[in-house]
Structures are given as C-alpha cells and as structure tokens.
C-alpha cells in the first residue's frame, strides 16, 4: 500500500476539476488528481461530449448527396477519434507533467473526510489532503420504460460517437437538447431518425414561435418528430427494436436498429462513499453545496454537474473560478454573481438563447417590446446567404421603459457566437439602441442587430407560462447538453 499526502485532492478530471488543479499546482500547491478511467482524461467535454458531438455536427453538414453515407460516416468517426485521442493525451501530460501535480487512474472512495482510497490489495493507494474538490460529472439517465434498459439495441451518446457504423434507423427517446442535437446530426449523415417526445411540443421552455421554427427546420431535414408520445414498451425483434407508444388515445409503434435515451443526466457519486466523509446530497442525488460550492464539509467542494447546477462545461469552468477564489483569492465570488448565462442547441442552424423569453417577461408583468425577424428577411445579414443557410429567426425581448435587453433567442447561422455579444450587453446594461446603432464587420451575422432591433413591437403575449418556468434575466433553465 502506498500513502500519499497532498495540499489539494481533486476527484474527477472534468473541466472544473482540471482547471482548479492546474491553477493550484501553478500556485505551488501539491495536487493529486484521481480519474477513474484512462479514457476520460480531460473530462466529458473533450472525450465523449462537446468536442466529438460538435465535430460530428461539422462533418455531417459537409456531406454531399453523392457521398456514400456509410463511408463518409466512418471517415468522420476516424477524425473524431484522432482529435479526442490527442486531447486526452494532452490533458494528461499537461497536468501530470507538472512538478507539483500527480494523476492517479482508479476509482476513489472516501475513508474519512480527508482521505480516499484508490485500488485494491497491493495496488491500494491512499491520498490524504486538507482540501478536496469533487468533479465527477454526470451520467445518462435511462427512463424506466419496460424493455428499454435491457434492449440490445440501446446505445448511449458515447457509443454513438465512437461506433464506426452508421445506424440505418435511429429512435431518439426525448426531444431535449441532447436528443435534438443527435437527431439533427445523424439525419444529416443519412440515418432515418424518429424523435419521441412526451411533452405536447418541443422545447416547452422556449416561446412557441421559436420552438415551432426549430421543429419546422428539423422536419424539413427529414427528422420524424412525434410529440405527446407516451412510450409503453420496447421489444427486441431480431435486427430491430420495436418501440410502442400511446398518442391521442391510440397505440402506435416504430422500429429502429438503434435506440438513444436522451431523457436527462444524473450526478455521478456511485462508489464515492460520501457518507464516510459526511458529505450530504440533495434528494435528486447531487452533492449539496452553498453559494461558494462548499459541501456540508467546508473543506470539500463540488464543481460541475455533480453539484446539480446547469450541465454546461462553461458553468463548470466558472465553478472552478469560485473555488479558486476561496483557495487563492478573496473569497467573494459566488454562484449568485452569474448573470446572462447563454446556452446553445447545436441543430442546423443552431439555437442560442439567453435571459428571459417573451412569455416569462410578460408573466412578470414587465412592459416589453419584442423585436423579431426571420433570417431570410434580414436584409442587413447577407452572411446567411453567403453560406446558404437562411433558415431560422432572431428574437429579442426588450424592456420598453429602459431599452435594456431582457433576453434573446437566436435560431440562425453563427448563433452560438452572436449570443455571447447579447449576453455581454445584458450584463453591462448596453441598450438595444446601442446595439442597433453600432458598427459591425461585413458580412457578419452580428450586423443583423442593425436591422432586427428596429423591428420592435408590443406584441400580444398570449402564451401560457409553464408551471416550472423560473428563469430570471440571464439565468438559463437547467436543461442542456452535458458538457457536452
């Protein structure tokens, strides 16, 4: 048995954990990071999340009609594997190569509030540290549908991004961010995709006009979308799985060679033995933290998906900043400081949102103006025509009394970039008029501001607000990709 001591122990190689580990090591602290899988150095994002999925998003949109779907997909997967392997090796070397940092591969389990054990028997290693950071991420949830978990056709998002064979038919269970991203990607590769969503419409947190346009675009690309579908059973039948569902009082079925569950993710705490450390969890299994990300043991912090916050890589990064401010700074930074956090659904084109929707603003009784326009009609945005992607729309919610921007939904080419400018404007009280009258490069998507903000109107505001809507200005709902 080997005994190690450190100033800081980090459990999990995710974005938050590795960011904190690098900064603390550079500050002269002795850091030990434990990661249970050699395939996950760097965390979910570069290995099985953001990087491979967005690379496949890029590849899928480059496929030509004359390209053989199977060969093109296999070539794309090879490119993904090469990049993720390089990132994984780079993540390991950049941290383990530091004089004050050590990476251990294995599953950590708490012995007491300051010590974890890794491995068994002669390979047992114990690590003791006065400060511990949990960064173990999240894992997919498989809905309790009879036959789903045991189906031999069940595939995870990880398996889809690593398999070199393109499924002929794919059923996506769930029409949230992850489900719609994979539906869009694989339909463009040539798979016949069906999305089964239990809600009566897609993206129920978004305004009807935005959600409706997303659906129109996906169906225009060939994705079959069935909303209001209650799945009752999954049965394997040779080379396919048969999924039965109820809709409008009738029973239907659809078959596919692959089933992707996309019904959410849960914090990963299995095997950690948090009880041995006295670390409390919430009813949904997340590690309980305060606004400084301290657990019930003040010397133990939790960052990223494991603490139950929004499941975005960039939120995990901000979590690391909060913890580092506790350990190296003034200790003032908190989760309450986050304003106007944007997020993006990577369909083609992408949907990027930030702040309040129109119906949320009206539900609060705010006096608002709504500026919206279809991308195809935005004269000031020739960028959309130069890249031959004119589908979608841009929508802004503006406070009619102050001219401040309350929220935006951008369904357009470059939306994932443009939304960051809007978020910055919200954080720093830049008015809609200032964005409308600013000078932007040409041709660019940002110059659409010059036109769209001039389309503001009072609107009708006749949509109902869902019971779970609770987004303050700049605060996204918890739904979203994992990090990716």
Q: Please give the positions annotated as active site.
A: 442
Residue 181 in marked binding region: yes
Collapse the DSSP code of 321 into the 3-class scheme (helix H, G, I; strand E, B; otherwise coil) and give the result. Answer: helix
Q: Report the candidate in 235, 266, 243 with the shortest Cα–Cα distance to residue 150.
A: 235
Residue 197 in marked binding region: yes
Residue 180 in marked binding region: yes
Structure tokens at 34: 């434990």
Q: Give me the phi and psi of 346, to 5 degrees please.
A: -90, 70
147: number of Cβ within 10 Å: 18
Beta-bridge partners for 353: 343, 409
Structure tokens at 11: 């459990």
Residue 17 in marked binding region: no
CB contact at 8 A, 419 and 344: yes
Residue 177 in marked binding region: yes
Q: How far is CA 359 from the centre of its chain?
A: 24
Rg over alpha carbons for the chain, rounded to the nearest Å, is 23
Structure tokens at 76: 């794309």
Residue 137 in marked binding region: yes
How far is 214 from 244, CA to CA, in rounded Å? 25
Q: Which helix (H) or strand (E) holds 354?
A: strand 351-355
CB contact at 8 A, 304 and 135: yes
How far is 41 from 34, CA to CA, in rounded Å? 10
CB contact at 8 A, 194 and 218: no
Count of residues in the chain? 484
How far is 236 from 147, CA to CA, in rounded Å? 8
Residue 24 in marked binding region: no
List Cβ neighbours of 112 (8 Å cut-off, separation of 6 or more).
276, 277
Residue 445 in marked binding region: no
Residue 136 in marked binding region: yes
How far is 315 from 322, CA to CA, in rounded Å? 11
Residue 305 in marked binding region: yes
Residue 174 in marked binding region: yes
The angle, 0 to 180 degrees and rounded to 10, between the axes of the packed helices 15-26 and 69-96 is: 30
Residue with tokens 């690379």: 55
How far is 215 from 223, CA to CA, in rounded Å? 9
How far is 197 from 193, CA to CA, in rounded Å? 13
Residue 42 in marked binding region: no
CB contact at 8 A, 87 and 46: yes
Alpha helices in 172-292 (DSSP H): 177-189, 208-220, 274-277
Binding-site residues from annotation: 54, 136-138, 174-181, 197, 264, 305
Binding-site residues from annotation for NAD(+): 174-181, 197, 264, 305
Binding-site residues from annotation for FAD: 54, 136-138
């Amino acid at each position: 048995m080997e005994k190690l001591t450190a100033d800081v122990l980090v459990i999990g190689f995710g974005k938050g954990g590795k960011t904190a580990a690098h900064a603390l090591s550079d500050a002269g602290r002795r850091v030990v990071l434990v990661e249970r899988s050699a395939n996950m150095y760097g965390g979910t994002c570069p290995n099985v999340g953001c990087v491979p999925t967005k690379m496949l998003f890029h590849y899928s949109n480059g496929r030509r009609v004359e390209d053989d779907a199977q060969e093109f997909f296999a070539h794309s997967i090879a490119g993904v594997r090469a990049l993720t392997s390089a990132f994984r090796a780079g993540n390991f070397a950049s941290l383990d190569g530091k004089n004050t940092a050590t990476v251990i591969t294995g599953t950590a389990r708490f012995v007491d509030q300051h010590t974890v054990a890794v491995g068994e028997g002669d390979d047992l290693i114990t690590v003791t540290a006065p400060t511990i950071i949990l960064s173990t991420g999240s894992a997919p949830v498989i809905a309790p549908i009879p036959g789903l978990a045991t189906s031999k056709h069940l595939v995870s998002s990880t398996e889809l991004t690593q398999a070199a064979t393109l499924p002929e038919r794919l059923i996506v269970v769930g029409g949230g961010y992850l489900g719609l991203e994979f539906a869009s990607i694989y339909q463009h590769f040539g798979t016949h995709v069906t999305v089964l969503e239990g809600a009566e419409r897609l993206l129920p947190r978004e305004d009807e006009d935005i959600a409706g346009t997303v659906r129109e675009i996906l169906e225009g690309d060939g994705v079959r979308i069935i909303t209001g579908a209650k799945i009752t059973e999954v049965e394997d039948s040779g080379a396919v799985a048969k999924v039965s569902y109820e809709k409008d009082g009738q029973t239907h079925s659809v078959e596919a060679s692959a089933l992707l569950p996309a019904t959410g993710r849960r914090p990963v705490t299995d095997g950690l033995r948090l009880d041995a450390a006295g670390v409390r969890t919430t009813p949904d299994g997340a590690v309980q933290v305060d606004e400084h990300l301290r657990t019930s043991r003040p010397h133990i912090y939790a960052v990223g998906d494991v603490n139950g916050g929004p499941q975005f890589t960039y939120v995990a990064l901000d979590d690391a900043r909060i913890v580092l401010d506790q350990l190296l700074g003034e200790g003032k930074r908190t989760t309450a400081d986050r304003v106007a956090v944007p997020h993006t659904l990577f369909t083609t084109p992408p949907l990027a949102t930030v702040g309040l929707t129109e119906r949320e603003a009206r539900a609060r009784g705010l006096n608002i103006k709504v500026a919206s326009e279809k991308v195809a009609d935005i004269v000031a945005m020739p960028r959309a025509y130069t890249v031959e992607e004119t589908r979608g729309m841009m929508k802004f919610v503006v406070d009619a009394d102050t001219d401040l921007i309350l929220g935006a939904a951008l369904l357009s080419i470059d939306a994932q970039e443009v939304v960051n400018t809007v978020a910055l404007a919200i954080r720093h009280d830049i008015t809609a008029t200032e964005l409308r009258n600013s000078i932007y490069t040409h041709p660019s998507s940002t110059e659409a501001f010059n036109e769209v903000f001039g389309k503001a109107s009072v609107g009708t505001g006749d949509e109902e607000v869902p019971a779970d809507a609770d987004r303050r200005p700049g605060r996204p709902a918890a739904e979203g990709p994992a990090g990716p």
